[in-house]
Amino acid sequence: MNMVIDTSAIIASVMRGPERDALAEAASGHVLIAPGFVRWEVCQALSVMIRQKGIDIVEARRGMEILDNIPLRYVDVDMAQVLTIASRLKGVAADAFLLETAIRYNAPLLTLDRSLGRAAESLGIYVVRLEDEGG
């Protein structure tokens, strides 16, 4: 079964956040999918972490290497649908990319972003919550 994974979950996984094991368990047995922009967004988040001195360049590059080894299938999105979703929810396109993917693939969403999770639920998308997984 497909499962959409968002940037917050990927960052926690590649940077060995406290949620990492619970995320891996939640994703186990699923085909992870994400819009192609997620890779760029992870890189952007890592560059912000460097600038804020939360990590150094070695850690950031290692995070991207880990991301490259995650079995993640990048998919295209329907831009018209993305705009429709963003308009309906009065949200940003980045979230709408993920929501459109979950709708199109009839897939649950794995996220640590509560705001994105609420938006997903308002559209009838099942959101995998770590507390549901015992974490």
Decide if pLDDT at 20 tops 60: yes
The pLDDT value given to residue 134? 37
* pLDDT, tens digit (0-9, with 9 covering 90-100), for 47-97: 999 999 889 999 999 999 999 999 999 999 999 999 999 999 998 889 999
CATH architecture of 2-133: 3-Layer(aba) Sandwich (3.40)
Q: pTM score > 0.75 for this model?
A: yes
Mean pLDDT over 15-38 rounds to: 92
- What mean pLDDT, rounded, does the chain reach? 92
CA distance 46 to 40: 10
